[in-house]
Structures are given as structure tokens and as C-alpha cells.
Structure 1
């Protein structure tokens, strides 16, 4: 009877009663999973304890092999290895389970092992299940740990694929491998049937040498592909680009296709260059031994886990704002107590300079708080983050120059007039010496018109005093004594008016000079800024050209490498095609030679058969002839005897001669014939002596 159970059916195995489990998604169906080698049913203890559930794997007839018994006994030592619980198993044999197997012949050499609860990695891929970054990292680290533990024991699954990896959703992640019938170990015998790997995970080498894929390195390529899938599954683009039951189509493995390039880009962006390099090594490897070991993967992934920083976790989410904030460096300890502002909304316009914009906002707050040294430090840090020659860089340079300018003080030479030390704002110079010389020159241009105006005012004041004392500017007191008081008053008023006009002219000259100085300083600052901008633009263009040349060179190198790889692959393909052609020609030649040999052997056998028939025919004919000759010789003897009795000696002699003629045909044979042997002696005697009388025999 075929084994086709229904949910709840009871079955007794090795004295334990189990019930067939019910499929969670189809209540009326038995809980079973079908694979390439057979089907697996869930066995629930009659007590209903799901944690003690077992799995009953029933193999297809092709895979029901008696050696499974010995294999399972040898595999049990690996049951304690993390991820290999299913290695603890029992095989149903005719010796121990004869009654059950007689009832259900399909159960011959079926395997009972622990039931692994959880989801397969294929479930995650086919349902496009979204993972968080930390979940991706946990899964990949768990798989790398299982693979590393197996490698250290010289073991390999040899058919590592998405449906053969099961994990639970608990906080303490547990990952297990199933379908371990092809497990490689130095302690195990090679399987009678070697599978060629699973689509989407088997390397070119694995597919090419299906019979030789049973080795300790067989999991490295497939493991690298699955680890990359797990690490990148937190990215929406990767999920959307997935082929189906695996991320890669089986036809594009180890090809430089779009999915590979996207995967490599995301690995480097999300997890760093080390992880991307491990995957690149595996992808371009023509020999599984050159693929990274699971130990190498584990070291890098545990390094990512050990960092545990918030930056990495935020960087792996899909929100761009968290990507920006997660990359911000820590500020110096002197401002740790300062309240950190949120990123202003207008900094989004700065793009790549968002970090510099945020640092500038922090420096401004420090500046408003009066903490100028700390503000200057942050301004400088922001200036280092800004793009050279950009508007933000110029703004930051101006702020730095303003804070670096000394506090204005009264100049004794200018009579303590604060206006004498006014400084025109300028963009920071490229060096401290240049800044000092620019400031000294700027102060001179501001001071000289003020000094000239002061001289004019002093001259006017002296003239006024002379008038008030009764002296003219060019005359003495006696020369003006004849003037009337009215005339003196008019002259005094005129002099005052003239002095006022002179003072006004001096003030206008001072203002004009100040304006000219400001214009000159502004023009000079603009010229310096323009020169600096042009120099920065020239440098930027040169850098851009260098980057373009480097990118072109890298592109050419990559193209040359790809071309070399394609040529190498083409050479291998040509060599393989030549091998196939040679093998076909050899097989045809051997077949022809075999056919010719068989034809020659058939002809030889036919000839031998014909010869044997001819020999037998001749032998039979000879035997017949000999029998006839014996009868004839007896007749000749009797005739000679009768002729002698009738007295015809000549006639008797003639018959004796005829007897000998027949006898001489085969004397060696006839001498052994009793009838002829007892007559031939008498015949010889008669020939020798004609008077000899023949006896009647």
C-alpha cells in the first residue's frame, strides 16, 4: 500500500506513536514538503507537543539505498554541530521495522529526524519579505558561523541553497540546514547519486563536474551567493530585482550582468569594501578552493556586528535623512554640553555639503553665545568639509576671517578716534602673513584722509583764533586798528563762514577718501577672491580631469580584464568543444572498431562452425568408407579362400592383392579392427607363399 496519509493519522515507529501533522495553510492536508529526493512529513507525538515533532523523509525509489543506514550512523557525530540537528536520525530497516514496511513499502529506508520549525530562506525570497538591516546581518552571521563550524570539521553540505536553509523568528536566531543526504565528510562514503547543485546557487565548476562536486569546498560559492542575498535583502532595489526563487537566474551565475553589478554596488554601499571584495572573489573564482572560506566571512561580519554603531544601522535603512545624520563625526569634547541643533531645513539644498552646513549652524550658535574660540574651531572644521571654490566655502572663509580679526582699539596717533581703526571685511587670505600685510595696508588707506582733514581743521581754528585776537592771517594787530567795529564784525562773520566751508570741504574730502578706500579695498578683495576662485576652478578642473583620466583608465582596465576573462572563458569553451569533438570522434572510432571486431569474430566463429561441420561430415564419410572397406576386405578374403578351395591359386592371389590395396589405404586404423587384423596376416603369408592355405575365419 502506498503511503498517502491524512492529517491526524497515527503511525507507530520504534514503539512511539505519532500523528501526521496538519498543514498550517491547508487544514485538510497533511503537512508535507516535497524535494528532489522525496517528501518529508511532520510527525507530532500523540501528546501534541510540537516542540518534540519529528520529520519522516520518504525517498523516491531511486534514492532508497541500503547504505543510508551506515551513512546515518556516521552522520550522527555531526548532530552536535550548530546547524546540523537533522544529522541525528534513524533509518527504517527490514530488520527493525519489517511490519511497518510490509504495510507501507514506500517506507523502506525512510529516515526519521528532528522537525525543524521556522521559515526557509526561499520563503523570504519568493514572498519578497522585507528585512531590517540588523536582521540581514544576523542571518548572514548565523549562516557564516554554521559554514565555518562545518569547514573546521572538514564537512560540507554540497547542496547549499535557499530551500535547504531554515531559521526561526525568535530573538535568539537559530539557523539549521536540511537535506543533508549529500553531506561531505572524510569519514563518509561518497553518495551513490551525486546532485549537480541547485539552480541559482551552483557555480560553473559545480555544474561542469557534478560527479566531482562532493568535496570539502563545495559550499563556498553557493554560501557566498546566499550570504550576499541575506546582507542585501534589506534593500528595496535588491528585492525588486530578484529573479524568482533566488536572486540570480541560474544562467547568469559568474557573468558580469546587471544583477551582479547591483549586488556588488549594494554590498559595498551598505556593508563596506571588505564584504564586497569577498563576494567579488567568489564570483570570479574558477575553482571553489579560491572562494573565501566561511571563516573569512565570519570575521568580517562579526566585525560589523562588534562595531554596533548607530551610524551603520541608520545607514542601512531606506530614509535618506538618516543616512546623512549617521555619517556625521563627533564634535570635540569642549562643546558636548552645548545643545546640538537639528539639521535646518535649508541645508538640504547643500547636497553633499549638508554636513558642512550643519557644522556652520552649530558654529553660529556658539558665536551668538559668545564662545568665539569654539565657534572658530567648528567654522574651520566646516570649511574643511565644504567643496573648494563653492559658495558655502566662501561664506565660511569670511566667517573665519571675521573671527580671526583682532578687536578694534583706539589708535594714539589718531587721537583715539574709533573711526580710524575701522576694518573692511574681506575673505580670509591663504596664509597668516598675507592676512597681516593686507590688514596693515587697509588701515593706512583708512587713516590718511582722516589725518588730512584734521590738518585742515587745525589751520581753520588757528585763523579763527587770530581774528578773535585782532590779528589777520597775514597781518598784525596794528594794521587793522583803523577798521571800525562794524567792519570787524562783518569780517569776523565772513571768516567764520569761510572756516565752516573749509570744515565742510574737509569732511566731504574725508568721506570721499573713506569711500575711495572702501572701494579700493572691496575691489582688491574681489580681485583676490576672483583670483582665488579662478585658481580653485583651475585646480578643480585639473582634479576633475585627473579623476576622469583615472576613471577612464579604471574603465579600460576593467574592460581589459573582462575581455581577458571572456577570452579565457572562450578559450576554455573552445578547448571543451574540441574535447567534445575529439571524444565524439574517438567514441565513433571505438564503436566502429568494436563493430569490426565483433563482425570479424562472428565470421571467425562461422568459419570455425563450417569447418567443424565439414570435419564432422568428412569424419562421418571416412567412417562410412572404412566400414565399407572392412566389409570389402572381408569379402576379398572370403573370395580368396573360396578360390583356393576350388584350386584356382591365381584367382586366390588376385583377391589377396585387392585385399592389401584396400588395407594399405589406412593400415594404422585397419590394424586396430579385429576382423581385419585376424585376416591381414594370412593374406601376407599367401602373397609370400602361394601354397599357403587360408584358414576359414
Structure 2
């Protein structure tokens, strides 16, 4: 059996405990990655776990060989999902005979939060202080990794998850992680990084060594440090800030210049580290992650002198609180016409001390329950968003990401909410 397609009624018995698959709008919840599909499941007590089911070709013995060593990393900050079980046939024979595609799948903790990719794609605003705090926390973790001889080897905006705007950072998709004594990947499976975080020389040859996170780590830290600037946010390429073909070497672009100038305004040392790493032709010539950590710590000490970012509608300090800040319409059946495809709700709250007049606008493929509301101090109102069947569909793939799904204008602050939905094509 090459695929695992559970229904909402599917149950799994693992080590005497029953697990059920969670749903989102009637469909089994799953996230699709490069090598696997990860399902959110829960036990009889309601605790959430992740079940990572690998695609054919990614279920090799190396997962088993490194599993015990990966588990030993679970006490390191940021590696909670290293606490895991491999569903090997030798131990879970009955389960694998019933569901063959589960062989060598991984049961591990479910990490709550949002990936950095969500902020890039939806252009969610950060204050200068929030950008600095997140960069400081991430730099600390990455420098600690490198200092202990550990490298994630596939750092990207999708593989960093945190709560709020920087609390409890966790790394996911750690199967390619490097540490002394680990079984290395075969030459044809050498980690080559992710688009937007990997220059051509890494994509060509791959990289699996203790310094492997230097390039991607530098890009992530630079993105985060610059994110409080409105022009930087508006220039994001989507779930990555840079396009894949503009990263590294002697290439420069408008986005490169924006980031470089923003870092220069913060600290000449940060700009130097960024340019050094960007132009490197081998990983040893990239700035160490400890160097980034020290430079950001120094920036924190002089934070009172930080330059003010350019103002934009979404960067104004609002008296409105909006939740959630990203619109997720879930899975949409493109075969159904003449009806509402899906619906979600958002809550708008006035956290200020004066009455707020709010105007809501949207594209023609979203319908709103209200287009104008008034909120007194402390008042809130739920707004329904209906995805209509004339919504855009992606030319490739199943996911459609949008930047302006809802624009909120008011005398107390302005918000622009982006989001996504998944298109269900044909028959499953």
C-alpha cells in the first residue's frame, strides 16, 4: 500500500492507546511537505500528536538508524518533536500489516503555533521590538545548535513555528538533522535546502555538516530583523521573502537591497554579516551563527537608538484587536458550483478608549456579513467571511494564497488580512 488516506472515522491503536484523526470542516486535517504528509491526531484524553507519514521513497532504514540518536536531542530547546516513536514493522507488525503506508512513520508531539511562512505570506506587521525579540530568540537557538555540533540542514520559513509573535520557538521537519554519530544521507538524498533559503551551490551539491544552517539561518534572521519596515513587508515574495533564483552569490535585487539597507540602519555589523554570507561560495565562508547572535545581542543593548521604520497602514498601532490574523478557508471542492464554498469568522474588538468606526472591504469572491460596524470601548463583533465559488484557483498545486482577503479601515487602526485555501480537484 503506497498511500495512507484516513477518514474522520479511522482509529489507530499504538502501544495500547487509541488515536483519532482530527478534522477541519469535515476533512481530516493534514499538512503536506516535501517528503511526507503530517496528520494531527489525538488520544483518548484529547492531547494532540503529529503522525508523519512519509511518501514512498522516503521510508528508508536511515529513519530507524537515527531515531534513537534524534530522541536524545529532545531536551535541547527548540527540539521538542525529537521526542518520537518510529512505527517500525518489527515492533508494530499488526498496525503495519493493516496500514502498510505507515511503515517507518513517526509519532511525535504536535507543535502549536504559526510558521514564519504565514507571516511572510500574509504580511502580518511586527513592531521593531517584536522583530528584535524574535530575532534574538532564534539567534540564541541557532548559535546553541552550532555550538553543540548540531544543524537542522533544511531551515526555512515553514520549519520554524512559534506562538504569538515569537514565544516558544520550535523546529519541525528535523529528519535531516546533523549531529556527530548520525548516519549520513546517501549522495542522492543529500539535503539541498529549501527555495528562498538555499543558494545555487548548496542546491547543486547538498550539505550535511555542523555548519549547514549558516546560510539559511542568516536569511531568516535578516528577514525577521527587517520585518518591522512596511516596504520590506510589502516586497515579500510569498511564503519566502526571496525568490529561489535570486538568492546568493553576486546576485542583487530590490529585495536584497531593501534587507541590506534595513540591516545597515540597525547595525553596520549586521549588514556586514549578511553580505558576507550572501556572497559566500562555501558554507565555511558564511558568518557563524554565534556572530549573528553576538551582533543581535549588541543591538538589543542599544535598542533605544533603533531607527523608526517606514509607516504603513498595517503598521499603525491599532486600538482594534483582530483574531485570527490570517484567513484559512480550509479545503474547497471546486466541483461544486452555485453555492458558498466555505465560511470562516473573525472577531474584531475595540481595545481603546474611544468609539471606533470600522469599514470592511474584500475581493469579489468573498462575501461579508457586515461591511460597516461601530464599536464602543471594550465592544467586539464577529464577522462572517464567505468564500464564493468564483474564487481564484491556482495554476499549479492545490493551495491558493492571497494577500488581501479582508481590508479593515478605521479611525483606530488599519489591518490587511491575507490567507489561503486548498482546492480539492476531481475525485479522491
The verdict on a shared fold, with TM-score over 0.5 as the criterion, is: yes
Instruction: Please give the alpha-carbon distance, in whole angstroms, between the structure 2 residues aligned to 1:70 and 1:283.
Output: 35
Superposition deviation, residue 10 in structure 1: 2.5
Provide the residue aligned with 1:633 in structure 2. Answer: none
Provide the residue aligned with 1:108 in structure 2. Answer: 103
Instruction: Please give the alpha-carbon distance, in whole angstroms, between the structure 1 residues aligned to 2:247 and 2:145.
Output: 25
Provide the residue aligned with 1:252 in structure 2. Answer: 246
Superposition deviation, residue 200 in structure 1: 0.8
What SS does the corresponding residue of 2:155 show, helix, strand or coil? coil
Superposition deviation, residue 155 in structure 1: 1.0
TM-score w.r.t. length of structure 1:
0.43
Q: Deviations over 1:196-226 (max 9, x none)?
A: 211111123212312xx11111110111111
What SS does the corresponding residue of 2:81 show, helix, strand or coil? helix
Provide the residue aligned with 1:305 in structure 2. Answer: 300
Superposition deviation, residue 280 in structure 1: 1.1
Instruction: Please give the alpha-carbon distance, in whole angstroms, between the structure 1 residues aligned to 2:290 and 2:311.
Output: 30
In structure 1, list runs of 5 or more residues that go unmatched: 320-697
Q: How many residues align structurally? A: 307
Provide the residue aligned with 1:78 in structure 2. Answer: 73
Superposition deviation, residue 41 in structure 1: 0.5
What SS does the corresponding residue of 2:72 show, helix, strand or coil? helix
Provide the residue aligned with 1:318 in structure 2. Answer: 311
Superposition deviation, residue 191 in structure 1: 1.7
Instruction: Please give the alpha-carbon distance, in whole angstroms, between the structure 1 residues aligned to 2:37 and 2:205.
Output: 27
Q: Deviations over 1:230-267 (max 9, x none)?
A: 11111111111122221111111121222211210111
Q: Are 2:170 and 1:195 equivalent residues in the alignment?
A: no
Instruction: Please give the alpha-carbon distance, in whole angstroms, between the structure 1 residues aligned to 2:28 and 2:302.
Output: 46
Q: Is the 8 A contact 2:65 2:183 kept in 1?
A: no
Provide the residue aligned with 2:224 in structure 1. Answer: 230
Out of 14, 34, 37, which is 1:36 matched to?
34
Provide the residue aligned with 1:48 in structure 2. Answer: 46
Instruction: Please give the alpha-carbon distance, in whole angstroms, between the structure 2 residues aligned to 1:261 and 1:229.
Output: 12
1:625-664 mapped onto 2 (5 Å cutoff): none
What SS does the corresponding residue of 1:61 show, helix, strand or coil? coil
Provide the residue aligned with 2:17 in structure 1. Answer: 16
Instruction: Please give the alpha-carbon distance, in whole angstroms, between the structure 2 residues aligned to 1:134 and 1:9.
Output: 45
Instruction: Please give the alpha-carbon distance, in whole angstroms, between the structure 2 residues aligned to 1:266 and 1:280.
Output: 13
Q: Deviations over 1:273-329 (max 9, x none)?
A: 1111111111111111111111111111122223343x43x724638xxxxxxxxxx
TM-score w.r.t. length of structure 2:
0.69
What SS does the corresponding residue of 1:251 show, helix, strand or coil? helix
Provide the residue aligned with 2:123 in structure 1. Answer: 128
What SS does the corresponding residue of 1:17 show, helix, strand or coil? strand
Q: Are 2:53 and 1:58 equivalent residues in the alignment?
A: yes
Provide the residue aligned with 1:283 in structure 2. Answer: 278
Q: Is the 8 A contact 1:161 1:198 kept in 2?
A: yes
Q: Is the 8 A contact 1:8 1:21 kept in 2?
A: no
Instruction: Please give the alpha-carbon distance, in whole angstroms, between the structure 1 residues aligned to 2:145 and 2:43.
Output: 31
Instruction: Please give the alpha-carbon distance, in whole angstroms, between the structure 1 residues aligned to 2:86 and 2:181.
Output: 19
Provide the residue aligned with 2:343 in structure 1. Answer: none
Provide the residue aligned with 1:161 in structure 2. Answer: 156
Provide the residue aligned with 1:518 in structure 2. Answer: none
Superposition deviation, residue 44 in structure 1: 1.3
Provide the residue aligned with 2:401 in structure 1. Answer: none
Instruction: Please give the alpha-carbon distance, in whole angstroms, between the structure 2 residues aligned to 1:106 and 1:9.
Output: 14
Q: Are 2:139 and 1:144 equivalent residues in the alignment?
A: yes
Instruction: Please give the alpha-carbon distance, in whole angstroms, between the structure 2 residues aligned to 1:37 and 1:86.
Output: 17
Instruction: Please give the alpha-carbon distance, in whole angstroms, between the structure 2 residues aligned to 1:209 and 1:105.
Output: 33
Q: Relative contact order, CA 8 A, sep 6+: which one is greater?
A: 2
Q: Deviations over 1:364-417 (max 9, x none)?
A: xxxxxxxxxxxxxxxxxxxxxxxxxxxxxxxxxxxxxxxxxxxxxxxxxxxxxx
Relative to its length, the structure with more helix (as a share) is: 1
What SS does the corresponding residue of 1:298 show, helix, strand or coil? helix
Q: Is the 8 A contact 1:101 1:108 kept in 2?
A: yes
Q: Is the 8 A contact 2:59 2:105 kept in 1?
A: yes
Instruction: Please give the alpha-carbon distance, in whole angstroms, between the structure 2 residues aligned to 1:142 and 1:318.
Output: 25
Instruction: Please give the alpha-carbon distance, in whole angstroms, between the structure 2 residues aligned to 1:6 and 1:304.
Output: 51
Q: Are 2:112 and 1:117 equivalent residues in the alignment?
A: yes
Q: Deviations over 1:154-190 (max 9, x none)?
A: 11111111111111117x7111111111111121010
Q: Is the 8 A contact 1:57 1:111 kept in 2?
A: yes
Q: Is the 8 A contact 1:86 1:113 kept in 2?
A: yes
Q: Is the 8 A contact 1:19 1:44 kept in 2?
A: yes
Superposition deviation, residue 78 in structure 1: 1.1
What SS does the corresponding residue of 1:315 show, helix, strand or coil? coil
Relative to its length, the structure with more strand (as a share) is: 2
